[in-house]
Amino acid sequence: MIWQELNEALVLPGIDAPSSDEVMRKVGGAFIREGYAKDSYVDALIAREKDFPTGLDIDGVGVAIPHTDVSHVIKQGVAIATLREPATFVQMGTDDETVGVSLVFMLCVIEPNEHLEQLKKIIAIIQDKKVLTAILGCKDPQSIIEIIKNKEESL
Amino acid sequence: MKKKVIVACGGAVATSTVAASKVVELCKKNGVDIEICQCRISEIESNLPADLIITTSKVKRDYGVPLITGMPFISGVGVEKTEKAILDVLRG
């Protein structure tokens, strides 16, 4: 279950990050501080996002799932952030369509096939607009974790 | 005959892993025998020939093989249409 592994230090409601680069620095920085990622992680995220953008427009809610090569990762983890003001990301599968992102699920992935079930759950969570809207309304990490828990239990 | 499907994304880390598993489930359910090759976009060429390429990133090159976007498996929008397109190519 994802919610059991969610570290409260990686759940960041209402951060100020006006650009995608700033999202990478703030959320990726939390991964580095908490020992999930190497110092190279943030630069690697920013570089990868330029080549392979991760913005998604989920029925009007802007979500991004930044992640990067396993070589920058120390251990598996998920970080969740909501943004005070949307940051512009390019949409995945395009090179010029943008989306204003309010919700970020950042991933530290080491061995994708071992974590397939986790990845599928995260994708199921971000496809549920009701869950996204509920997370956006949260002011503290614990209520976000509670929403993820309830959603996972329904999967 | 077994069909080869390449599923690719930027780093072969997250989105292609999820898309590949959805394609495997889809084909199993519909009795289509496939071999999956999951890789990075940059590795597509070295994994050819194939019967179908599915990507979650924009690909401008023409590999001479049908190419379908796997984005619906990530966004959840338009999944049925994509599944039908995949089956049409593999059964064709």
Model confidence pLDDT, tens digit, residues A63-105: 999 999 999 999 999 999 999 999 999 999 999 999 999 999 9
- Cis bond upstream, residue A18 (ω within 30): no
A115: pLDDT strictly greater than 90 = no
Q: What mean pLDDT comes out for the span B23-32?
A: 97
B7 close to A (CB below 8 A): no
* CA A37/CA A149 separation, integer angstroms: 25
Which residues from B are below 8 Å from A67, CB to CB? 11, 13-14
Chain A CB contacts of B76 under 8 Å are: 58, 123, 127
- State mean pLDDT over B7-23: 92
Q: What is the pLDDT of residues A32-41, one digit of tens each?
A: 999 999 999 9
pLDDT at B11: 82
Please state, in angstroms and rounded to a whole number, the distance separating the CA atoms of residues A21 and A73: 18
CATH 3.40.930.10 for domain A2-154, yes or no, is yes
Give the residue from A68, A79, A90 showing the smallest Cα distance to A19: A90
Report, as an integer, the average pLDDT of B62-90: 96
Closest CA to A83 of A133, A129, A17, A10: A17
**Tens of pLDDT, residues A14-32:** 999 999 999 999 999 999 9
Query: What is the average pLDDT score of chain A?
Result: 95
Domains defined along chain B, listed by start: 3-78 (3.40.50.2300)
Active site residue B9: yes
What is the gyration radius of the CA atoms in chain B, in angstroms?
A: 12
With a CB cutoff of 8 Å and minimum separation 6, the contacts of A52 are A92, B9, B10, B11, B41, B57
Whether ipTM exceeds 0.90: no
Q: So what's the pLDDT on residue A59? A: 92
Averaged pLDDT of chain B: 95
Chain B residue with the nearest C-alpha to that of A97: B58
Q: Do the chains contact at A56 and B74, CB–CB below 8 Å? A: yes
At B28, list the tokens. 């199993």
Domains of chain A: which residue ranges? Answer: 2-154
Q: What percentage of chain B has pLDDT greater than the value 90?
A: 90
Residue of B nearest to A118 (CA): B18
Looking up tokens 């072969």 gives B12
CA distance A60 to A100: 9
